[in-house]
Chains A and B, each alone.
Chain A
Amino acid sequence: MTTIDTRSPDAGSYEFHVFEDEHAHDDAAEHHHETGTMLGFWLYLMSDCLLFGILFAVHAVIGQNYAAGPSPADLFEIEKIALATAFLLLSSITYGFAAINVQQNNAKVMSIWLIVTLAFGLGFLYLEYLEFSHLWHVGATPMASAFLSSFWILVGTHGLHVTGGSIWLVILLVQVQMHGLTPENKRRIMCLSLFWHFLDLIWIGVFSFVYLAGVLL
Chain B
Amino acid sequence: MSADTDNHASHDNHAHGSYRSYFIGFVLSVILTAIPFYVVMAEVDISLLWAMVIIFGLGAVQILVHVNYFLHVSVGAEDGWQFMSLLFTATVLVIILAGSIWVMFHLHENMMPAHDTIRRVRDLQ
Contact = CB atoms under 8 A, between A and B. Distances in A.
Contacts of B56: 208-209, 213
Nearest to A47: B89
Interface in B76-124: 76, 78-79, 81-82, 85-86, 88-89, 92-93, 96-97, 100-101, 104
Interface string A21-57: 1110011110010000011001100100110011011
B55 A23 contact: no
Contacts of A28: 14
B18 A201 contact: no
Contact of A61 (B39, B79, B100): B100
A150 interface: no
Interface string A8-29: 0000000000000111001111
B26 A205 contact: no
Interface stretch (A135-143, A153-161, A190-198): A190-198
A213 B9 contact: no
A197 B59 CA distance: 15
Contacts of B67: 201
Contact of B93 (A49, A99, A100): A49
Nearest to B6: A26
Chain A to chain B: the 5 pairs with minimum beta-carbon distance, closest first: A208-B59, A96-B22, A57-B100, A197-B70, A53-B93
Interface of A: 21-23, 26-29, 32, 38-39, 42-43, 46, 49-50, 53-54, 56-58, 60-61, 78-79, 82, 85, 89, 92-93, 96-97, 99-100, 102-103, 190, 193-194, 197-198, 200-201, 204-205, 207-209, 212-213, 215-217
Given A26-B9, A92-B26, 7 more contacts: A29-B15, A60-B100, A60-B101, A92-B70, A100-B18, A197-B70, A215-B40
22 contacts: A42-B85, A46-B86, A50-B92, A56-B97, A57-B96, A57-B101, A60-B97, A78-B41, A89-B29, A96-B25, A96-B70, A97-B19, A99-B17, A102-B16, A103-B16, A197-B70, A197-B71, A201-B67, A208-B58, A209-B59, A213-B55, A216-B48
Interface of B: 1, 5, 9, 13-19, 22-23, 25-26, 29-30, 33, 36-37, 39-41, 48, 51-52, 55-56, 58-59, 62-63, 66-67, 70-71, 76, 78-79, 81-82, 85-86, 88-89, 92-93, 96-97, 100-101, 104
